[in-house]
Chain A
Amino acid sequence: MIGFRFFIREFGLASAFIALGALLLICLWFSLSVQSSFLNEFRQDQLSLILDPTEKESFEQLMREESGVLRYSLQTAEENRDRIRSLYPELDSVIDSISIENFPVSALVIVEDGRKMMSFFETRPELIQAQMIHQAPDSLKTLISVATTIFLFLWVFTLILFLYFQLEGVAHRQSAKWSLMKMLGAKSSRIFLPLWGLQMTRLLVSSVCACVLAWWATSYLLSFSNWTWAGLGLNLSLGFILASLVLGSLCLYSLFLVQFRRVSVC
């Protein structure tokens, strides 16, 4: 019964450690990918415009004449319809039944000063029916940061528990041996090193499992999204395993010292 309970506790802790490790890794990967792809798009101010379809030529002329415009591209109503169709293949028949006049002609304009250009476009309502300035996904960035912090905290907490219960069991089982060694004046490292080897092996296996789980999850996420992001890299995985071992060693040593001090000399 005690053995079963021990097994359940160990299994639960290991699963939580692996799951939280994987979630932390996914958050880190997501954060790095957003940084390198989404946020890189916003080096220059960009505006999306909905144009009056009859004023396309006038708009093009305006774009050529306006000095604040760096680049622009036009999308016809057909292109926009196809874009919506590709995003929503289940609406194919619905989109077919809608006449082409309902789909707007749009333009993407890269400008020097987005706000200034927006107020300029506001003075030309005959050309521009709607406009928006593209902004970096700050809320997404905040969400990822918050999620990373929470998962990091939980992961460290689980790591401490993961080591603590193991160490407590070992200390309980080997209290007589530790007491004798302490009385004989043996160095604590002679007890710690074999213990460290065993716990680090457990940690290494769990961290590798977390990396595999995270790799599978990110690959799955990429498989049904259109993002052109790289999968979970080897560097990130190795960094995670290394961080896990270093942090684990520090925690284990601190916990061991506390336990070792508690053991009374016989």
Chain B
Amino acid sequence: MLSGGLSRVGSAPLGVLALSTLCLFSSFGPSIEARSVDPQEELRKLIGERAPIEASLQELENSVLALEARQIELSQELIDFERDLEAKLRDAMLPLLSWPEGGRFLQTASWLEYQQTELLIQHTRKALLRKPLELIEERKTRIAELSDLRSSMSNQIRELQIRKSLIDFEEEELLLMKRRAETELPQATGRSKSLQ
């Protein structure tokens, strides 16, 4: 079970810490006993450590749920945006497609008016060009946001899985220690009575 737990944890520092604690506890049992450490106390301490881990686990689960909800929301927004994008782009591109290149020499009363009209037409064209570019940029941003969220979510889930494995391992350790404490406690009580 221990080796199974180890393989699941890998090189997680908490796992190593727990394992070393366990080894110390099991190998130097008599010396601890000699220092008169109460196993029940140790057990209570270890059970007390479990509470923040569980809280953290709950918190992580909640955050994953929130992330999933946000992802669904963003995906829906992107789907809606993509659905309207074609129409929006068409509306934005239509004036550009038929927009004149320059002024009409014969239709302007003077050369000055002709030049001024050319400037106006060019400037308006620039303003019209901005809209489809903005739409494309917005689409790019939305897709990037969603893919960032997805990668962040997968990282969080991976982290959660690692922490869950750690907690499982620690739970196993606790159970083992509890069992040992239960078996060692009557023996220790008997030995102290005999010494007396």
B124 touches A104 (CB 8 A): yes
- In the assembled complex, the Cα of A219 lies from the Cα of B124 at a distance in Å of 34
B95 touches A41 (CB 8 A): no
Which of A80-88, A146-154, A210-218 binds B? A80-88
- In the assembled complex, the Cα of A35 lies from the Cα of B119 at a distance in Å of 24
15 CB-based A-B contacts, threshold 8 Å: A41-B110, A41-B112, A50-B119, A50-B123, A83-B117, A84-B120, A87-B108, A91-B99, A97-B91, A102-B124, A104-B120, A106-B119, A106-B120, A136-B111, A227-B109
Query: Shortest Cβ distance from B49 into chain A, in angstroms?
Result: 62
Given contacts A41-B110, A87-B107, A101-B127, are A106 and B95 in contact (CB under 8 A)? no
The 8 A CB mask of B45-77 against A (1 = contact, 0 = none) is 000000000000000000000000000000000
Any B CB within 8 A of the CB of A108: yes
Any B CB within 8 A of the CB of A15: no
A80 touches B120 (CB 8 A): yes
Any A CB within 8 A of the CB of B135: no
Given contacts A50-B123, A94-B94, are A108 and B108 in contact (CB under 8 A)? no
Given contacts A84-B121, A87-B103, are A102 and B127 in contact (CB under 8 A)? yes
Closest chain A residue to B104, Cβ basis: A87
A88 touches B100 (CB 8 A): yes
CB neighbours (8 Å) of B103 from chain A are 87
- In the assembled complex, the Cα of A228 lies from the Cα of B106 at a distance in Å of 11
Taking a contact as CB atoms closer than 8 A, the residue among A91, A132, A135, A225 that contacts B119 in the complex is A132
Any A CB within 8 A of the CB of B156: no
B123 touches A98 (CB 8 A): no
Query: Shortest Cβ distance from A211 into chain B, in angstroms?
Result: 23
A48 touches B123 (CB 8 A): no
CB neighbours (8 Å) of B107 from chain A are 87, 225-226
Which residues from chain A sit less than 8 Å from chain B, CB to CB?
Answer: 37-38, 41-42, 46, 48, 50, 80, 83-84, 87-88, 91, 94-95, 97-98, 101-104, 106, 108, 129-130, 132, 134-137, 140, 221, 224-228
- In the assembled complex, the Cα of A37 lies from the Cα of B110 at a distance in Å of 8
Q: Which of A50, A108, A228 has the most CB of B within 10 A?
A: A50
Closest chain A residue to B105, Cβ basis: A225
Main secondary structure of the interface of A (DSSP, over half): mixed
- In the assembled complex, the Cα of A135 lies from the Cα of B118 at a distance in Å of 13
Q: Which of A87, A136, A225 has the most CB of B within 10 A?
A: A87
CB neighbours (8 Å) of B95 from chain A are 94-95, 97-98
Given contacts A97-B95, A129-B123, are A102 and B117 in contact (CB under 8 A)? no
B120 touches A97 (CB 8 A): no
CB neighbours (8 Å) of A80 from chain B are 120, 124
- Contacting A at CB under 8 A, from B112-167, are 112, 115-117, 119-121, 123-124, 127-128
Given contacts A87-B107, A91-B98, A130-B119, are A46 and B124 in contact (CB under 8 A)? no
CB neighbours (8 Å) of B115 from chain A are 48, 132, 134-135
B106 touches A225 (CB 8 A): yes
Closest chain B residue to A106, Cβ basis: B120
CB neighbours (8 Å) of B124 from chain A are 80, 84, 98, 102-104
CB neighbours (8 Å) of A48 from chain B are 115-116, 119
Closest chain A residue to B98, Cβ basis: A94
CB neighbours (8 Å) of A130 from chain B are 119, 123
B128 touches A102 (CB 8 A): yes
CB neighbours (8 Å) of A87 from chain B are 103-104, 107-108, 117
CB neighbours (8 Å) of B108 from chain A are 87, 226
B109 touches A224 (CB 8 A): no
- In the assembled complex, the Cα of A117 lies from the Cα of B103 at a distance in Å of 25
- In the assembled complex, the Cα of A201 lies from the Cα of B114 at a distance in Å of 45
CB neighbours (8 Å) of B123 from chain A are 50, 104, 129-130
List 9 other contacts, CB 8 Å, given A87-B104, A97-B95: A80-B120, A87-B107, A88-B100, A101-B127, A106-B120, A108-B116, A130-B119, A225-B106, A225-B107
Closest chain A residue to B131, Cβ basis: A102
A224 touches B106 (CB 8 A): yes
CB neighbours (8 Å) of B111 from chain A are 38, 41, 134, 136-137, 140
